[in-house]
Structure 1
Amino acid sequence: MTPALINLAAEQKSADVTDWAARIGWVVGLLLFIALLYWLMREGWKWRGTLQGDLPGLSAAPAAPGEPTLTMNGRYHGSTTAGQWLDRIVAHGLGTRSRAELTLTEQGLAVVRPGAQDFFIPAAALRGARLDKGIAGKVLAEGGLLVITWQHGGKLIDSGFRSDRAAEHSAWTEALEALTPPHHQHSNDTEGAR
């Protein structure tokens, strides 16, 4: 071997060894930070439910609900205080998004939600319906959401639904407005303005 090659071989260094302890420390720290954020969000959700504990439990559908006027399959996107589309209501499972099957009868609206609590809105509690574009964390195209306003425990609530066939929304709005007691129609417009 030539002296130049020997000098070149002597000058070569091996690659730096990875500091595994530092990497593992950073990964563990990041996982703990993510777990803390998740825990804080969960506690905030439970706290919101506690604040809304004055709402009575949800009604179950009557044993003989009557002949269905309309049915719809789609998604339930959540409920808010009427007129305040970001004030989500989480008490009694109303904050849980899910698939939904709606059945409208003369007695009211039955909402069946697989994996979440079903509920029934009596016809006397209906306050109106409209097409809108958003509700608490869900924004769609204009008119892409069916929002039903109803009275529950002294509080006006907006609940958002989206049909698998969006063309059904107009028929639902008309049917719900027809079922709403006349002295309560469009009262959600004045409540939301306060």
Structure 2
Amino acid sequence: MSPDYVPAVIITILVVLGVIVLILVGWSNRKRRQSHVPTPASIPGTLTEPRTEVEGTYVVTTAAGDRLDRIAVHGLGLRGNALLSVGQDGVAVLREGGTNFFIPASALELVDTTSNMVGKAVEKDGIIVLRHHQDGFGFDTGFRARYHTDKAGLIQAIKTLIPAAAGATTGKEAK
């Protein structure tokens, strides 16, 4: 390498390292600001037999109603492969390499679909969104079924869990 390029290489390396540091600082600040967000429910020791199990991608969990406000704490902001298991008592989110969590049927408010959530954009209504609450905090959890043919059955299975007071409807119908 020519000595003329050494300063440019050093500056480039410093800029890249600076960007990485800023990203890490931003992520840790987001986690600090979200320290009030409750820890998701653990998967109970005994679950009812699943009605439906669907492989796919856990997209993200956001604050309810704001699909751009990623929840960073408790590992909820990290995308990855997952299995959604819907049983009589609720929905188990089983994540590869991430924290598994449980959404009790009584906590479900609605099931909806969307095309995008925090940096993940897909075809029209390609992401299934489960709105749920815990300890007074509302969440929107996104999941994308691996196979399009599984989506309708998954949505129907989740709809049957939503308490009648919540309307047992999708957000699209409620609008």
TM-score using structure 2 length: 0.91
Distance 1:153 1:90 in 2: 18
Kept after mapping to 2: 8 A contact 1:83/1:188? no
Q: Distance in 1 between matches of 2:103 and 2:142?
A: 14
Q: Percent identity?
A: 30
Q: CA RMSD in A?
A: 1.8
Query: Secondary structure of 1:171's partner?
Result: helix
Residue 166 of structure 1 aligns to which amino acid in structure 2?
H
Residue of structure 1 in register with 2:142 after alignment: 160
Q: Is residue 28 from structure 1 mapped to residue 27 from structure 2 by the alignment?
A: no
Q: Which runs of 4+ in 1 moved over 6 A?
A: none
Q: Secondary structure at the match of 1:141?
A: coil
1:67, 1:106 within 8 Å by CA — same for their partners in 2?
yes
Write the deviation string for residues 111-157 of structure 1: whole angstroms up to 9, x where unpaired: 11111111111111111111211111111110111111111231211
TM-score by length of 1: 0.83
The Cα shift of 1:184 comes to 2.1
Question: Contact between 1:110 and 1:119, CA under 8 Å: does it hold in 2?
Answer: yes
Bigger CA radius of gyration: 1
Relative to structure 1, is the Cα distance of residues 148 and 172 closer, same or farther in structure 2, using a 3 angstrom cutoff? same
Structure 2 residue 99 is matched with structure 1 residue 117: yes
Deviation of 1:21 (Å): 2.9
Deviation at 1:39, TM superposition (A): 1.1
Decide which moves more: 91-100 or 50-59.
Answer: 50-59
Greater helix content? 1
Structure 1: give runs of 5+ residues left out of the alignment.
1-17
Query: Where do 1:46-125 residues align within 5 Å?
Result: 46-125=28-107
2:27 counterpart residue number: 45
